[in-house]
Amino acid sequence: MNEPVLRRRGVLNLLLGGSVLVAMPACATAPERSPRPALRPAAPVGGLASGDGDLSYALIDMRTGALIAGQGEATPLPPASVAKALTALYALDALGAGYQFRTRLVATGPVTDGILRGDLVPAGGGDPTLETDDLAAMAADLARAGVRQVTGRFLVWGGALPFIPEIAQDQAVQAGYNPSVSGINLNFNRVHFEWRNSGGAYSVAMDARSARHQPAVSMAHMQIVNRANPPYTYRRAGARDEWTVARAALGGTGSRWLPVRHPELYAGEVLRVLAQGQGIALAAPQIATTAPNGRDLVTHLSAPLQEVLRDLLRFSTNISAEAVGMMASAARAGQPASLRASAAQMSDWARARYGMSSAALVDHSGLGANSRVSMRDMALMFRLAGQEGQLRALLREHPFRDRNNTIVAQPGVDVRAKTGTLFYVSALGGYLRGPGGRELAFSICQADLARRAQVAGGQVDRPEGTAAWARASRQRKQELLLRWAREHS
């Protein structure tokens, strides 16, 4: 982390950014159509292509739009999380940099003498950054508004976005980066699972922790079973997430984040616990089937979209990409029928706005390996977005690292980029400035889709061989960037 002081939201992103916390066993207007860069003969890659799948790249001059170097640049490949850069542009175009998500507590009846004579409805507005601390503040505001009792039901409405059970279907069930998406999302729709080993006897706990609060939850239940594999199993029960974990997978004391599949009930249970702490008794949460009609008692606003997108690209949070992407689609043409429909709408926009004729995306995060786009089109997008002035400020500096993951200074070379990684897919796209100051846009992807097909859908956190492949691919991309910095600056 480069910043010496972390914002509260950044702390939660760090807490939630990895699956494992303790040791685990495993704006100028762009033209409607953009001209393609003129093709030039691609320089040979030399030893960079090592038989580990397709290596494709495109390097474009920011000023002229000329394609300086390319290999397989027209081949559509999975962009992985580099797709989030396109999603950020899509959301900014539809919603604006100052857009804020709203989460409301709605009363369907009057409040007299501290009694709400009607239903209380937490109504989500698609905010992907809502956390437990925010709900705690809303509960405190509800108490300050004088509410002490609710005679009606406690309903939770998540219909601002379509319910997505999971972002991608080929991930391990325990992958915390592949949660459900809804109009109400809490803690990136992840629940904290912790286990303690005392003399061979385990105790488990499930909670919705954030920086200042740690309420226990019962809608996610964990059972330890005696088996070797799979490490985890999941069943979506009527009102609970039912998990089992293999005793052999636990080892000593540890913890991790697991995906939530009942986001409305999760948020409702946490708010109910926090409201009880304020002296407000609420019934058990139920899911509202229609948008509430009543008076807003409390409203929570997210950070402005510009800040949400900066964190999205920095921490690569999949649920944030899906939520902002679907909200952008809803702003354009009404609520999309599905995640795939929303991604198709974004693909159409990318073709019209940036000339990305190869764009065929299945989601907004890049987690779905069936998304396709060519590196020429991605580099073209970075070039045109760079001219608009929106994207570069959202991208973080991309340092060079040696094979021990130690940062190695490269004087005069500046890279601002978005990374993307799936099993046997490694991508990178953004901006390169060499010692001579020449501005370049690039996109690189190495993908071994045959080997990916062999491990996709497995129930392990990291299939054997994938980490070494990813490290080697990152080194190849760094070698390309350094070569370009020397040869084209």
Domains of the chain: 36-97+339-487 (3.40.710.10), 101-302 (3.50.80.20)
Q: Could you tell me the pTM of the whole model?
A: 0.90
CA dist list (Å): 347 to 90, 351, 366: 10, 6, 12
Q: pLDDT tens across 294-316, in order?
A: 999 999 999 999 999 999 999 99
How confident is the model over 241-254, as a mean pLDDT?
94
- Average pLDDT for the chain: 90
Range list of β-strands (E), 212-361: 220-225, 232-236, 241-246, 254-259, 286-287, 295-301
395-410 pLDDT per residue, tens:
999 999 888 889 999 9
**Consecutive H or E run containing 473:** helix 466-487
**C-alpha torsion 360→363→368→372, nearest 10:** 20
Task: Answer whether residue 43 shows pLDDT above 50.
Answer: no
Please say if the pLDDT value at position 4 is more than 60: no
Q: Say if strands 155-156 and 286-287 run parallel, antiparallel, or are unpaired.
A: parallel
- Chain segment 102-134, per-residue pLDDT in tens: 999 999 999 999 999 999 999 999 999 999 999
Grade residue 12 by pLDDT with cuts at 50, 70 and 90: low
- Res 19 pLDDT > 90: no
Of the pLDDT bands very low, low, confident and very high (cuts 50, 70, 90), residue 51 is low
Q: Which residue has the higher pLDDT, 330 or 2?
A: 330
- The pLDDT assigned to 404 comes to 83
| pLDDT recorded at residue 200 | 84
pLDDT for the residue 48: 41
Distances (CA, A) of 435 to 310, 339, 387, 410, 485: 27, 43, 21, 10, 7
For CA atoms 422, 425, 426, 428, the dihedral sign is negative
Q: How far apart, in whole angstroms, are the C-alpha atoms of residue 211 and residue 234?
A: 27
- 3-state SS, residue 21: coil
With beta carbons less than 8 A apart as the criterion, state whether 366 and 404 touch.
no
Cα–Cα dist 426/56, whole Å: 11
Burial status of residue 298 (CB atoms within 10 A of its CB: 0-12, 13-18, 19 or more): buried
Tokens of 155: 């309903």
d(CA 284, CA 297): 20
Cα dihedral sign for 150, 152, 155, 157? negative
Our measurement of the distance from residue 383's CA atom to the centroid of its chain's CA atoms, rounded to an integer in Å, reads 24
**At residue 69, does pLDDT exceed 60?**
yes
